[in-house]
């Protein structure tokens, strides 16, 4: 029905808009401002304690570059792009301290938060404070924003690459992606994923050959990333720069696959419980489910081992090692853990139909972790964060439970790791 009231002139509309208080117009920004404030508070109140775990290696390399020395620490596995960056940013000081480098690292988290907000809008069509809070406080990721680790900068570059790709700025996305290889060379897996994930996010049909061909031609800049990685691989003689015995190339291991399922279960437990009816229906409709489950059990029993030396030290400090050593300490404990991993896998598979982006992330997550002998939950940061970004809204209670769990667990993990009480 048409209204009989005359339309207001544009100048009157603007006058009415100006009559609203600024606080009312900008009120939606307050929760996001609190997230930025949280990062700054933790960065500046971080305790001045000695480097922990691999922080000592990274700090040594940064200070070494800062002093003008070019040789690399023997245990440094990454291309030293992160260390050169930190050395350049700390040039105004005489010697970069552990606190200074940690604070600089934390400032990259501000960029990560901004990028997560942009990606939430690009992928979901709207900003959502609940999902952004979950993305920031994911316990697997949050503590490493404040430690001297390559993960914070690496994650920022990968997320920027995805955001630029979704904005159809492929060349710039490929440049950012190539730079990320200088931080963590195994980012090549996520760069290989980008064209597929971009196509899936845009809703492209895999059977539409013309559209698929146009997309492939549009993504040609990502070929530069592949060329850069292959050049490094053949010159270096492998993926790892140092400590190559602990990171052998071209190997297949099941440990990270099953441990990633366990981490998936813990992080997404409320969503998994909320999704149980659909998961049950998916499993019941699956043909030969008994045979498939038995096959998975056999692969798990024979393939899941804890053979890496780094996974067998200091279980009282490294939570990951404590869990791994407990899981393989008895065949009965190992068997009892299997239903948890099977549930996680079934939940993931039940979400795949009609969600091509979810499938792409899962496939490349497996490709990323299967070659790794060392079982390390940091390898799962990118895929699990992307799964959270792309996951559909669950029941309100599940979203609320996930948010509160992340807030609590993220804070506890950050406090525990930054005070030398434990390490993940």
Two structure tokens written together for 3: 């209204």
What is the 3 state secondary structure string of 109-169?
Answer: HHHHHHHHHHHHHHHHCCCCHHHHHHHHHCCCCHHHHHCCCCHHHHHHHHHHHHHHHHCCC
Mean pLDDT on 68-79 = 90
Q: Could you report the per-residue pLDDT of 369-398, keeping only the tens digit for each?
A: 999 999 999 999 999 999 999 999 999 999
Mean pLDDT on 151-164 = 96
Indicate if the pLDDT at residue 344 is higher than 80.
yes
Q: Could you report the per-residue pLDDT of 186-210, keeping only the tens digit for each?
A: 999 999 999 999 999 988 778 888 8
416 three-state secondary structure: helix
The pLDDT of residue 367: 95
Indicate if the pLDDT at residue 3 is higher than 60.
no
Q: Is residue 347 part of a domain?
A: yes
Distance CA 51, CA 49 (A): 7
The pLDDT of residue 2: 43
pLDDT band at 13 (very low <50, low <70, confident <90, very high): very low
Q: Is residue 3 part of a domain?
A: no
More confident residue, 144 or 6: 144
The pLDDT of residue 16: 46
94: which residues sit within 8 A by CB, 6+ positions away?
none
Domain that holds residue 307: 250-392
Indicate if the pLDDT at residue 212 is higher than 90.
no
Distance CA 267, CA 265 (A): 6
The mean pLDDT value of the chain amounts to 90
Indicate if the pLDDT at residue 235 is higher than 60.
yes
More confident residue, 183 or 240: 183
Indicate if the pLDDT at residue 250 is higher than 80.
no
The pLDDT of residue 11: 54
Q: Is residue 225 part of a domain?
A: no
Q: Is residue 339 part of a domain?
A: yes
Mean pLDDT on 244-254 = 84
The residues facing 318 across adjacent strands are 423
The pLDDT of residue 240: 85
Indicate if the pLDDT at residue 108 is higher than 70.
yes
Q: Is residue 124 part of a domain?
A: no
- Residue written as token pair 């990118």: 382
Q: Is residue 258 part of a domain?
A: yes
Give the C-alpha distances (Å, rounded to integers) separating 105 from 79, 112, 157, 283.
17, 11, 13, 44
Mean pLDDT on 23-49 = 80
| Predicted structure pTM score | 0.91
Q: Is residue 269 part of a domain?
A: yes
Mean pLDDT on 11-16 = 51
Strands (E), 235-334: none
Q: Is residue 222 part of a domain?
A: no
Q: What is the DSSP letter of 423?
A: B
In the chain, the number of structural domains is 1
How many CA atoms are closer than 13 Å to the CA of 389, on its beta-carbon side?
Answer: 25
Give the C-alpha distances (Å, rounded to integers) separating 368 from 59, 195, 197, 288, 371.
27, 16, 15, 28, 7
């Amino acid at each position: 029905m048409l209204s009989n009231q005359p339309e207001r002139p544009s100048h009157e509309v603007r006058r009415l808009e100006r009559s609203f208080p600024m606080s009312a117009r900008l009120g939606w920004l307050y929760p996001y401002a609190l997230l930025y404030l949280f990062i700054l508070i933790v960065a500046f109140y971080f305790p001045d304690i000695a480097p922990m775990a691999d922080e000592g290696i990274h700090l040594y390399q940064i200070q070494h570059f800062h002093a003008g020395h070019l040789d690399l620490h023997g245990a440094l596995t990454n291309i030293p792009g992160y260390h050169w960056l930190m050395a350049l940013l700390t040039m105004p000081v005489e010697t970069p301290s552990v606190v200074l480098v940690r604070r600089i690292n934390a400032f990259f988290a501000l960029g990560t938060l901004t990028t997560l907000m942009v990606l939430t809008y690009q992928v979901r069509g709207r900003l959502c404070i609940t999902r952004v809070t979950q993305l920031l406080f994911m316990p697997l990721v949050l503590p490493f924003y404040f430690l001297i680790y390559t993960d914070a900068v690496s994650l920022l570059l990968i997320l920027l690459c995805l955001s630029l790709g979704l904005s159809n700025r492929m060349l710039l996305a490929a440049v950012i992606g190539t730079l990320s290889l200088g931080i963590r060379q195994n980012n090549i897996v996520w760069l290989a994923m980008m064209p597929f994930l971009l196509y899936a996010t845009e809703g492209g049909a895999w059977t539409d050959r013309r559209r698929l061909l146009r997309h492939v031609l549009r993504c040609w800049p990502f070929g530069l990333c592949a060329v850069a990685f292959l050049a490094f691989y053949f010159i270096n003689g492998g993926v790892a720069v140092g400590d190559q015995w602990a990171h052998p190339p071209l190997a297949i291991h099941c440990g990270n696959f099953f441990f990633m399922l366990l981490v998936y279960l813990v992080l997404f437990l409320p969503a998994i419980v909320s999704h149980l009816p659909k998961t049950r229906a998916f499993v019941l409709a699956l043909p030969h489910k008994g045979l498939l489950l038995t096959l998975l059990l056999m692969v798990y029993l024979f393939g899941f081992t804890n053979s890496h030396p780094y996974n067998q030290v200091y279980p009282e400090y490294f939570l990951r090692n404590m869990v791994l050593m407990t899981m393989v300490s008895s065949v009965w404990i190992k068997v009892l853990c299997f239903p948890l991993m099977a549930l996680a896998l079934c939940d993931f598979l039940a979400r795949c139909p009609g969600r091509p982006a979810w499938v792409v992330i899962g496939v490349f997550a497996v490709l990323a972790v299967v070659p790794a002998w060392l079982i390390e939950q940091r390898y799962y940061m990118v895929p699990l964060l992307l799964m959270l970004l792309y996951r559909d809204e669950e029941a309100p209670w599940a979203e609320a439970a996930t948010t509160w769990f992340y807030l609590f667990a993220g804070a506890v993990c950050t406090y525990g790791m930054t005070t030398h009480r434990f390490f993940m």
